[in-house]
């Protein structure tokens, strides 16, 4: 139930992950219990942070999903544009989800669609000047209200990141050749640079 | 973009979290960079596991969200029932999301709605016999295909769990009185037991 999230207005009085782990143990699913607890914990942490991020972004009429697209277009994509299929690959979402997000961003004049210069079947999304201003302002808010409020020490966050990198590589998020912090080449809209010439 | 997920059919050739962290550093957002990386990593790990879980559950015509509701009703809720508002609190989702999930589960004869015996404004969801069979079978599949395949050592998973518990408590997931593994009282539908008398 991770689509529509509400802020954690009321804490539970118990840890549902611990409760589920007890169930798994009692059923004899010992082999799976720790993995279940790990995955469920990741999902609950996700839910909490997503709710915080969406709250912080509400004044900008942005969701975290749309913010992520804007931020990537602004700062990582060459010439501020990427093909819709590249966006789907980057965020591991379906074409329909990308289309919906880009529709909304385009309606708000934060991105515009452009034909791909080298591929007639492909469409680029390019961030607008308004989109660049919006994502810069929204990031200041997100940093202050969410990213700077994680209550772990630097060492704890680095340890968490290392464990999650291992999980993510094994689960196929990215190839492990770059696992150890090598700075990657930004995702490029093939031929995107040519539009400027 | 975490609603509709696709399996990681193709790994990226780089770690987008590392790329984003470089951007934050270059913008002078050092204070927020590590928190951003931590939260983004949790979200990407969530996305990968959610896709795996939904894949494993597709033969049962279940999503992980609906599976979680069924599993909780089957094994943690007293008498196999909870109020819809309790389900929303437990999974931190909106009433509309709970309604949609219960509508679908009810249409599939996996749960039924009952009037709350003590509160006319409240509705209970009760798991059916078919729901209990379904969740047992689906769990065997989830255990084999997802929960037993986390490629971390036991020590790594326990370390990850500890860090995530700290994050979750700070973010308001549950109150820290029970943080250290105390087994909680299951969520009860108030007066739910009375229906049997």
- Asked if A75 is an interface residue toward chain B (Cβ–Cβ < 8 A), one would say yes
Query: Residue B113's beta-bridge partner residues?
Result: B125
ipTM field: 0.85
State whether residue B14 sits within 8 Å of chain A by CB.
yes
Strand segments, DSSP code E, in A1-128 are: 81-83, 111-115, 123-127
Phi, psi of B83 (to 5 degrees): -75, 155
Q: How confident is the model at residue B115 (pLDDT cuts 50, 70, 90)?
A: very high
- Model confidence over B24-41: pLDDT tens digits? 999 999 999 999 999 999
User: Which residues in chain B are contacts of A62 at CB distance < 8 A?
Assistant: none
Residues near A8 by Cβ (< 8 Å), separated by ≥ 6? Answer: A48, A51, B92, B171, B172, B173
List Cβ<8 Å contacts ≥24 apart for B77-80. Answer: B77/B127, B77/B186, B77/B187, B77/B188, B77/B189, B77/B192, B78/B186, B78/B188, B78/B189, B78/B192, B78/B193, B79/B126, B79/B189, B79/B192, B79/B193, B79/B195, B79/B196, B80/B126, B80/B127, B80/B132
E strands of chain B, at which residues? 81-83, 111-115, 123-127
Pair B43, B128: CB distance under 8 Å: no
Is the pTM here over 0.90, yes or no?
Answer: no
CA angle B66, B67, B73 (to 5 degrees): 95
- Among A67-81, A103-117, B5-19, B183-197, the range scoring the smallest mean pLDDT is B183-197
Q: Rounded CA gap, A56 and B189, in Å?
A: 33
Q: Please, are residues A92 and A98 in contact by the beta-carbon 8 Å criterion? A: no
Please say whether the beta carbons of B54 and A2 come within 8 A.
Answer: no
pLDDT tens digits, one per residue of A7-28:
445 688 999 999 999 999 999 9
In three-state secondary structure terms, B39 is: helix
What's the CA dihedral at B168, B174, B176, B179 to 10 degrees? Answer: -80
Quote the CA–CA distance of B72 and A32 in Å, as a whole number.
17
What's the pLDDT score for residue A9? 54
Token pair in block for residue B179: 């943080």
Q: Which residues of B touch A161 (CB under 8 A)?
A: 17, 34, 37-38, 41
Count of CB contacts below 8 A, A vs B?
343
Contact residues on chain A for B144, CB-CB shorter than 8 A = 32
Rounded distance between C-alpha atoms, residue B3 and residue B99, angstroms: 17
Evaluate if residue A87 carries a pLDDT over 60.
yes
Our CA dihedral for B185, B191, B194, B195, rounded to 10 degrees, sits at -110
């Amino acid at each position: 139930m991770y689509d529509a999230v509400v802020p954690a207005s009321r804490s539970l009085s118990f840890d549902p992950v611990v409760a589920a782990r007890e169930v798994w143990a009692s059923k004899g699913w010992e082999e799976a219990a720790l993995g279940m607890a790990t995955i469920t914990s990741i999902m609950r942490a996700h839910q909490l942070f997503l709710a915080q991020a969406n709250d912080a972004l509400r004044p900008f009429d942005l969701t975290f999903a749309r913010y992520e697209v804007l931020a990537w277009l602004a700062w990582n994509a060459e010439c501020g544009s990427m093909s819709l299929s590249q966006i789907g690959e980057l965020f591991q979402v379906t074409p329909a989800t990308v289309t919906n997000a880009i529709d909304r961003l385009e309606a708000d004049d934060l991105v515009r669609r452009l034909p791909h210069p080298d591929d007639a079947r492909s469409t680029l999304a390019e961030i607008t000047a308004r989109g660049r201003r919006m994502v810069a302002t929204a990031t200041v808010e997100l940093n202050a209200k969410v990213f700077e409020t994680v209550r772990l020490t630097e060492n704890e966050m680095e340890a968490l990141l290392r464990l999650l990198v291992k999980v993510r590589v094994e689960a196929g998020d990215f190839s492990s050749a770059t696992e150890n912090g090598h700075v990657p080449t930004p995702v490029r809209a093939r031929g995107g640079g040519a539009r400027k010439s």
